[in-house]
Amino acid sequence: MLRIALLLVLTLLNGCALIYKMDMRQGNLVDQKMVDQLKPGMTMRQVELVMGTPQVASPFNQDRWEYVTSNSHRRKEPEIKTLTLHFESGTLSKIEGDWLPKSGDELLEESRELQRHTPDDNRKVKNG
Q: List, in order of start, the domains of the chain with CATH numbers.
A: 22-117 (3.30.1450.10)
* 72: helix, strand or coil: strand
Partnered with residue 94 across adjacent β-strands are 86
β-pairing verdict for 64-72 and 24-27: antiparallel
pLDDT 10s per residue in the chain (128 long)?
888 877 777 776 665 555 566 777 777 888 888 888 898 899 999 999 999 988 877 788 889 999 988 888 777 788 888 999 999 999 999 999 887 776 656 656 666 766 676 666 555 555 54
